[in-house]
Amino acid sequence: MENFYYTQDIHGPYDIFNAGNFELEHGGLIRDLKIAFATHGTLSSAKDNVILFPTWYSGTSKVLEQAYVGKGRALDPEKYFIVLVNQIGNGLSSSPHNMPPPFNAARFPSITLGDDVRAQHKLLVEKFGISEIQLVLGGSMGAQQTYEWAVRYPDFVKRAAPIAGTAQATAHNRMLVQTFKDGLTSDPAWADGWYANSASVHHGLRRHARLFATSGFTPTLYKTEGWRPLGFTSGDDFVTGFVEAHFLPQDPNNLLAMMTKWQEGNVARMADGCLKTALSRIKARVSVIAIKEDGFFPLEDIEADAAMIPNGELKQVSSPWGHLALFGVDASYNAAVDGYLTDLLAR
């Protein structure tokens, strides 16, 4: 299904790695799995300057670049070879909307964050001959992938920074994500995923966006009208112009595929269901970064993860933007996180 949002014009430049016929954790196969990625900086001859940064829910490599990469920042392309990798289902990598029939749309197979991380590993090893990364980091679903990396490939990962995400989706987090899904799929136009074009599901996409905005930002942001610097004129104008605008061009089946991964995010499945055992396998030095006011991944849950990581430290940042400070809209959040990442990279 054609969709002008998921293009080089809007999210490029990026490259495609063909991971081949890729067997999935839940069974089944993606034929010619395509992983879209963008790199910044130059891989050193010793291949010892690699940073890997997978995308969050509904994000792309371009969005990560704009929010986190730049000269003088922690993720400085003059020092590091930064690989921004698009998760499966995000619309640039293989996704329900771009898969050739019959495995497209509602028939896109069920994928996991483990599939993502295995495909990303293959990309680094086969495409670039990398055997060690200085830092893997990510926000939200990117944090879930970061945990997956650190537990699955403990000898590959020297440092890790999961930001605003947990190693195991909690009962409440899964339920919250289910409300986002239900907001989307309750639109009759969704038609069990067999809509003719994604724009026809705009009621569902808008409902999903508003649910996302309600707990994604803090009550304080709305109360203090913290959206004014972005040029919005009312809370409603902000939610429409910022959050609905973000989701409306996206494909419902893509979003649903990512949300299922989000709900199932759980490194404990690599250790017979024991979260503590799984986290104890991490060899990386880890800075666990929590957003204090986070309505998606509460501080308390992130603290609990940090306490189980052998070489882990909890770092906190406060923002009225809540979970969605991840987007890079709050200069003070950006500065704090850059500081934590710079410290971690220096050690």
Query: Residue 168 — left, alpha, or beta (φ > 0 → left; ψ -120 to 50 → alpha)?
Result: beta
Residue 207 touches a second copy, criterion: CB under 8 A? yes
Q: Is 202 a catalytic residue?
A: no
Among 70, 77, 193, 235, binds a second copy (CB under 8 A): 235
Among 213, 243, 329, 345, binds a second copy (CB under 8 A): 213
Among 222, 268, 277, 318, binds a second copy (CB under 8 A): 222
Among 7, 131, 178, 280, binds a second copy (CB under 8 A): 178
Tally of CB atoms within 10 A around 42: 12
Query: Which phi and psi angles does 171 have, rounded to 5°?
Result: -55, -45
Residue 219 touches a second copy, criterion: CB under 8 A? yes
Residue 273 touches a second copy, criterion: CB under 8 A? no
Nearer to a second copy, 116 or 244 (CB): 244
Q: Is 172 a catalytic residue?
A: no
Binding residues with a second copy: total (CB under 8 A): 30
Q: Is 294 a catalytic residue?
A: yes
What is the rounded CA–CA span in Å between residue 71 and residue 76?
5
Would you say how long the chain is, in residues? 347
183 Cβ partners below 8 Å, 6+ apart? 204, 207, 208, 210, 211
Interface positions, 297-326, toward a second copy (CB under 8 A): 298, 300-301
Among 26, 31, 107, 172, binds a second copy (CB under 8 A): 172
Binding site residues, a second copy, CB under 8 A: 170-173, 175-176, 178-179, 182-183, 186-188, 203, 207, 210-211, 213-215, 218-220, 222-223, 235, 239, 298, 300-301
What amino acid positions are annotated as catalytic residues? Answer: 140, 294, 323
